[in-house]
Amino acid sequence: MSTTEEIVDTLSFFDSWEDRYKYMIDLGKALPEMEQTLKTDDRLVPGCQSQVWIEPKVENGVFEFQVDSDAHIVRGLLAIVMAAYNHKTAQQIIDFDIADYFAKLDLVKHLSPTRGNGLQAMVEKIRQLAQAQL
C-alpha cells in the first residue's frame, strides 16, 4: 500500500488529469479484495453515488479497514483515503489533516460534485468510526 507522501509525489509527476485518473484506478486495483459476505447494506457508506463498503477492524487500538466499491475510480479514491487512515489509531485518524492532503493532491476540484460528496462521505464515515473508539 502506498503512503500519502508517495501518492502526492506520484500524482504531481503527471501532467494530465487523464494520467492521474489512470494512476488512481491502478491504486484501486491494488487494494485487497473485500470478501463478498462483507458487502452488506450496513457497511454501505451513505452519500456516495457508487456503492462503497467500509468494514473496520480494530486490533490493539489500530484500525484495519476492508474497503470496496463497484466503480473503478471510486476504488482509487478509497486507496487514496486508505493511505491516510489504514493502520492508524483512532487519534491518528482524527488528527490527520485530510483537507491539506486533498489540497496537495489538487483532487477535489477535478471530481464531479457527486464524487466529491462521496469522497467526503467516506472520510466522515471513517472519522465517525475513529471518534467512537476514543
**Which residues are known catalytic residues?**
48
Of residues 20, 124, 32, the one with CA closest to residue 75: 32
Q: Write the CB contacts of 94 (distance below 8 Å, at least 6 apart in sequence).
A: 127, 130, 131, 134
Which set of grid coordinates corresponds to residue 134? Answer: 476514543
The beta strand positions in the chain, using DSSP E, are 52-59, 62-69
Distances in Å between the Cα of 96 and the Cα atoms of 90, 123, 133 are 10, 11, 16
Burial classification of residue 16, based on how many CB atoms lie within 10 Å of its CB (0-12 exposed, 13-18 middle, 19 or more buried): exposed
